[in-house]
Amino acid sequence: MLNPFIQLTPPAQTMLVGLIALACLLLLSRGLLNLRGRAFTPWLSRLLSRLVRTRDYSEADFYAADGAPEHFIATRRAALDALQQTLSARGVKSSEWAGRVRGGLSDLRFTDASRVPFPFAKRMREGFNVASVAVASQGSRLLDLDGNWNIDVSGSYGVNVAGYDRYKEWMERGWQRVQALGPVLGPLHPIVADNIAMLKAISGLDEVSFHASGTEAVMAATRLVRFNTRRKLIVCFAGAYHGWWDGVQPGLGSERGIDDCLTLKDIDPASLAVIRRRAKEIAGVLVNPVQAFHPNSPPPNDAILLNSSVRKTDTNTSPYAEWLKKLRAVCTEAGVPLVFDEVFSGFRLAPGGAQDYFGVKADMVLYGKTVAGGMPIGVVCGSQGLMRRFDPAHPMRMAYVVGTFAAHPLAMGAMYEFLKWSLLPETTAVYRIANARTTDWVVASNQEFAAAGLPIAITCLGTIWTVQFTQPSRYNWLLQYYLRAQGINLSWVGTGRCMFNFDFSNEDYRDLTAKIRAAAAQMRNDKWWLSETEHPGRAKVIKQRVAKDLFASVFAPPRPLQAFYHEVMRRKHDDHVASHSHRLNQVLHLLSSSTFIFCYWLVFSDLVTAMWLGLGALFVRQFGHALVEPPCHDKEQLLLGFDTRSKTKVVGIYLLIPIVNCLAAPVLNAAAAPELIAAVARQWFGFTALVVFGHTLRLIPKHGFKNAMVWFVKLITDPLTDIKAYFPTLLRQRAGA
């Protein structure tokens, strides 16, 4: 059968090839244009999650991860021990409590070295317990189980905007309003209608639905926009967090690739271009209005600090506000719903949330945490067209979106109290004062830190703030432990995101500055932060160490091989301690090991020379053991190798082989010498193989296959590790002499 393409006329063939080329060009150009706006962090995160293996630093590596000079290591080790004792003394009862629930309370992991780079985590997990167990709150403080009052900057994951005392009042008054009904679900308490009216007024949107959590609210919103637009693609931005559901977690914590969630670069014009081009595929653009302030990144720039006293009548011209306005314009132009995820930020920046603060209106807004007056909740507010659960033209088509625990009477009662407060005229002034105080505190604190030469600075957005580090270090994460030792309560993200509530007084701000300054100063004195004078070229060294660690983690062997490697190295260490301490013996081992390594290469091209050189090196090596070092027969026997007597017998056989060859030779003259030398070398090689492999096989029934292979690998790699072990030692001894 002829190829159909060949049957076409030449003009038709040319036209077909041109059409195919044009289609490929269009597809390629579209892909390249989209490529500019795509965020590859999620893809890289998923890739590394599969490749990077657990790798715990040894005791020595932990303290020298930044390549610090050796004389700082002792200081660091003593400092970490002292810090451990301080925190242990502060949290005896908390540690006992954590010990009782460990293994039963999975969320305890959030206090278990969760924001510590994984090579350091084992040491911190074993020595430090930072479980926060609180029994009371008052003003800006929390009382822990051990009786310590700690300044609380955790914000309770965003719940605590107005201050714990206010929430306790709202919860109490809210319960009084609904206690006659109790925990009845299904029928709604009349107060729900009041809450809906207030939420519609605040959000400026048509309809409201209640859900059990912020994550459920995100799930409901994505379900609704897909249903009502008949499109599948949800756009998110790199760095955002929209709850634990992997439908909007293309990278963070997601084990599967997600083809219906497109992650774009944040604050990037290329992302706006992608939204325009792919508008017919996009069901909604989901944005966290403060996602540029996520725990791993500061705000776009410090200009955002200047907008902390914004009011409804103000025009916000911060860089991020301008970005949101452009995003709003593009979504309107493209007919794509804009969804504000304010589960965290809602009511944190202004009484009307981020829409109020940034002056940008969304098509759908999600609230959570604080809106229920301290009770768990998720709220979706949206336009009528986006909130439909049923298709009016197709009665069997529906979006099944429910929330079993959604309108719990207690949550509705507390919500009523909070929403009433948020709509009071004087509440706007409360926000303005708190935001201005935070900004003033940041400026004053940064001046103190700079004057003290501390490598930290603080940046804020309203009452949200984060600690930034002004010099590279492998140990910046340690600051959270020093802050806890000073009596500061942090969330599980450590210094990545902190929050003030409206109960913070001027005295609280000053006290917090003093504690942060003291913690940072102690950390610097403990030599976790080194100056350029103390550690020249530290930035370059740190980059090299990080790259080396990443490479080692990605290409780390499987755990059985790691265990095998560590066992080989342990045997080598024990062997060195047992019979390799004398300086002359180390020199002889360096000489013989260098020769052995050369012979490893030479044996493939010149067996005769390799064996004669190798045997000479073996004699030199055993001379050190026989005459310089103590015998240590028992110790060497435990190491599954030959003891000195066994080695003497083997050396004797090596010497006997040329003697026997000479006696057996018919004629001894110069002409026969090369052949005799070659024959002896071949016999030595055979005897060496017999001894090595024979001893390995003998060890298998006696000590097991693994131990036999440990001995074999240790034997053939000893020359390499001898050079690594003894050469630096001899150099230091010579320098000291």
The predicted pLDDT at position 734 comes to 58
The predicted pLDDT at position 489 comes to 93
Residue 640 — pLDDT band, cuts 50, 70, 90? Answer: very low
Angle between helix 644-664 and 673-703 (nearest 10): 150
Query: In the chain, what percentage of residues exceed pLDDT 90?
Result: 40
| b/e code 223-240 from CB counts within 10 Å (16+ = b) | bbbbbbbebebbbbbbbb
Mean pLDDT of 168-179: 95
What are all long-range contacts of 27-31, with beta carbons under 8 Å and residues at least 24 apart? 30/277
The predicted pLDDT at position 412 comes to 95
Instruction: Please choose, from the candidates 540, 534, 724, 710, the residue with its C-alpha nearest in 3D space to the C-alpha of residue 638.
Output: 710
Mean pLDDT over the full length of the chain = 83
Residues 6+ apart with CB under 8 A from 52: 550, 553, 554
Residue 172 — pLDDT band, cuts 50, 70, 90? Answer: very high
Other beta carbons within 10 angstroms of residue 613's beta carbon come to 17
> What is the DSSP secondary structure assignment for residue 38, as one 8-state letter?
B
The predicted pLDDT at position 506 comes to 94
Instruction: Please choose, from the candidates 348, 368, 359, 356, the residue with its C-alpha nearest in 3D space to the C-alpha of residue 463.
Output: 348
Q: How far apart are CA 330 and CA 398, in angstroms?
A: 29
Residue whose tokens read 């034997």:
715
Q: How far apart are CA 364 and CA 369, in angstroms?
A: 17
Mean pLDDT of 442-450: 95
Answer yes or no: is pLDDT of 275 > 80: yes
Mean pLDDT of 240-247: 84
| Domain boundary assignment for the chain | 59-156+432-452+459-525, 164-390+397-423, 559-736
Question: Between these two residues, 255 and 437, which has the higher pLDDT value?
Answer: 437
Mean pLDDT of 532-556: 86
The predicted pLDDT at position 2 comes to 46
Answer yes or no: is pLDDT of 189 > 90: yes
For 72, 84, 85, 506, 543, the CA distances from 528, given in Å and listed in that order, are 9, 15, 18, 31, 16
The predicted pLDDT at position 26 comes to 58
Stretch among 59-63, 120-124, 280-284, 616-620 having the lowest mean pLDDT? 616-620
The predicted pLDDT at position 218 comes to 94
The predicted pLDDT at position 304 comes to 41
The predicted pLDDT at position 642 comes to 56
Q: How far apart are CA 702 and CA 700, in angstroms?
A: 5
Answer yes or no: is pLDDT of 641 > 60: no
The predicted pLDDT at position 570 comes to 81
Give per-residue pLDDT as tens, 85-133.
Answer: 999 888 888 878 877 776 555 554 445 566 788 889 888 888 887 777 8
Mean pLDDT of 589-600: 84
Mean pLDDT of 7-13: 65
Q: How far apart are CA 146 and CA 255, in angstroms?
A: 40
In CATH, what is the architecture of 164-390+397-423? 3-Layer(aba) Sandwich (3.40)
The predicted pLDDT at position 493 comes to 82
Answer yes or no: is pLDDT of 693 > 80: yes
Top-ranked range on mean pLDDT: pick from 351-355, 593-597, 723-727: 351-355
Question: Between these two residues, 298 and 79, which has the higher pLDDT value?
Answer: 79
Answer yes or no: is pLDDT of 468 > 50: yes
The predicted pLDDT at position 178 comes to 95
Would you say the CATH fold of 164-390+397-423 matches that of 59-156+432-452+459-525? Answer: no
Strands 364-368 and 338-342: parallel
Query: Are residues 411 and 375 in contact, defined by beta-carbon separation less than 8 angstroms?
Result: yes
Answer yes or no: is pLDDT of 487 > 50: yes
Q: How far apart are CA 441 and CA 447, in angstroms?
A: 10
Answer yes or no: is pLDDT of 8 > 70: no
> What is the DSSP secondary structure assignment for residue 624, as one 8-state letter?
I
CATH 3.40.190.10 assigned to 59-156+432-452+459-525: no
Instruction: Please choose, from the candidates 389, 384, 277, 280, the residue with its C-alpha nearest in 3D space to the C-alpha of residue 336.
Output: 280
Mean pLDDT of 458-479: 92
Answer yes or no: is pLDDT of 605 > 50: yes
SS3 548: helix
